[in-house]
A and B are shown apart, each in its own frame.
Chain A
């Protein structure tokens, strides 16, 4: 019994405190009135008079709703585009063996290890030349640069698990290559496509650097960028709306995560395999 306490419950409690406290702090700040936020007399861990003023201000007095839908559109567009192209590429590499297929797989994997951090400066130059600067739609192709490597890698692993015999049997029955690919393998890829989409969507929703550098008009910004640049003005009274924005901005990702938590964890650990 004592080993249970020391081996399970005590460490679990400490981890839970460390890992979950910032979330409690976010939500608490979002509903605390300003007088309480800046008072050192009241207990900071509790809220005396919870308020929705910050949320109301965020939704009516700032560009938050616009940022929210911008992010939603960009994340959905980038995810659909990336998952589609990744599935085609993964099918080509895994199923239609051709000279250089292994090399292509390797190159795409290496693309995943090139962080946005070393691309944003030259990419700014490319976008300027293309006339895509400060256009939210430009973030769709830009985000595919980190989504396609990840999704292709994930889908390659998934396609390898679909037995080749199924395709061969269909070909015996006279089905053409395209019909086998789209009519048989595509439906069988369903779970893999869902995993890839979940990751693509959450990764796009979380992206910050590209949106920060490439978007400048307030109405073109995404949630993280809008909050960081339009609400952070060195004014302490912004803490409430900022935390309200952080809470609301987390919601889409958290909902998707909890709906597909097993798939998320499986996909994460699967992506670490060859």
Chain B
């Protein structure tokens, strides 16, 4: 009885809860929800920077579908996302398995090896840019010294080499994200599960395949969807290291949108390119949400 009245007192005042949410919601409404809608609307217009546009329906999208650079960008974004997310998952899980063991200095390595994910991406991208320098790359220097190649490798001057170089930098940055997630996941697996397997005499690889991996599955779905969202909307690494070059070979949707809208002034065309990512984003967000609900 008393408890009932108390919780009634806590929940009384229907205005109080909403009032606490209003300041945050107002900011998000003005600077997130409104621009999101405006962006979609801009995609159906022909606005340039400083010049309001008129409604032109699907013209931007029709134009983009015929634009070889946009098509290449779509393929690039898909390739970049699939390849790097798969490798980040594999390497991140591998590192988590290594760091989940007990050995001298494990705490030190656990914190230090997560650094690539912590430091500002643009700043580490400068280091990668310099590592891939056509004249002074240490990789070329070492390979020439070893007699394996004669001329320096033009990492960022060739389409496929540039794509590969960007992927390496992206994998470097994103691997610790999976490691952080998987370390927490591995630590939440009860040890008696493993003890039972040991009595069974199961080999390490079998234990991993039949126990650890299935138990980590829900977490894998969450980590993969999050990583995919942040990878295919990547801007910083690509814009810093290649600016979408050579000859537009490494553009992702966002770098192309930036180049067309901000550098080139074609606001609506850029907005349309950005809006193309929305369906995929929605699907991924839905998948992430379902996985989180199931896990909770």
Which residues of A come within 8 Å of B, CB atoms?
Answer: 4, 7-9, 11-12, 15-16, 18-20, 22-23, 25-26, 29, 37-38, 40, 44-45, 85-86, 88-89, 91-93, 95-101, 104, 106, 108-111, 113-115, 117-126, 141-142, 144-145, 148-149, 152, 167-168, 171-172, 177, 202, 205-206, 208-209, 213, 223-225, 227-228, 236, 239, 242-243, 245-246, 249-250, 253-254, 257-258, 261, 264-266, 268-269, 272-274
Residue from A38, A98, A121 having most chain B Cβ neighbours under 10 A: A121
Most buried by A among B33, B35, B114, B136: B35
Across the two chains, which residue of chain A brings its CB closest to B124? Answer: A22
Q: How many A-B residue pairs have CB under 8 A?
A: 289
Within the complex, the shortest CB–CB distance from B218 to chain A, in Å, comes to 10
Binding site for A on B (CB under 8 A): 2-3, 6-7, 9-11, 13-14, 16-21, 23-25, 27-28, 30-36, 38-39, 42, 91, 94-95, 98, 101, 103, 109-116, 118-124, 126-128, 130-131, 135-136, 138, 141, 172, 175-176, 180-181, 183-185, 219, 222-223, 226, 229-230, 233-236, 240, 253-254, 257-258, 261-262, 267, 270-271, 274-275, 277-278, 281, 284-285, 288-289, 292-293, 295-296
The reply to whether B295 and A22 form a contact with Cβ atoms under 8 Å apart is no
Instruction: Give Cα distance in the complex from A168 to B35, angstroms.
Output: 41
A260 to B223 Cα, complex, angstroms: 23
User: A40 and B278 in contact (CB under 8 A), knowing A122-B38, A177-B16?
Assistant: no
B123 in contact with A89 (CB, 8 Å): no
Contact between B180 and A269, CB atoms less than 8 A apart:
yes
Question: Shortest Cβ distance from B134 into chain A, in angstroms?
Answer: 11
Q: Are B17 and A12 in contact (CB under 8 A)?
A: no
Known contacts A104-B25, A145-B27; decide if A122 and B36 are in contact (CB<8 Å): yes
Contact of B28 with A111 in the complex, beta carbons under 8 Å: yes
Known contacts A44-B136, A96-B10, A265-B110; 4 additional CB pairs below 8 A are: A16-B113, A88-B24, A110-B285, A208-B236
Chain B residues positioned under 8 Å from A171 (CB to CB): 6, 9-10
Q: Is the Cβ of B28 less than 8 Å from the Cβ of A145?
A: yes
Instruction: For the complex formed, measure the closest distance between the CB of A149 and the CB atoms of chain B, giving whole angstroms.
Output: 7
Judged by DSSP, the binding face of A is helix
Q: Is the CB of B270 within 8 A of A121?
A: yes
CB distance from B176 to the nearest CB of A (A): 7
Closest chain-A Cβ to B268's Cβ sits at a distance in Å of 9
Q: What are 12 contact pairs spanning A and B, CB under 8 A?
A: A19-B176, A23-B127, A85-B23, A86-B24, A89-B24, A97-B11, A109-B289, A110-B289, A124-B267, A141-B31, A227-B126, A265-B184
Q: Please report the C-alpha to C-alpha distance between residue A111 and residue B31 in the assembled complex, in whole angstroms.
A: 11
**In the complex, are the beta carbons of B98 and A12 less than 8 A apart?**
yes
Q: Are the C-beta atoms of B21 and A104 separated by less than 8 Å? A: yes
Inter-chain CA distance A227–B271, complex, in Å, is: 27
Q: Are the CB atoms of B113 and A19 closer together than 8 Å?
A: yes
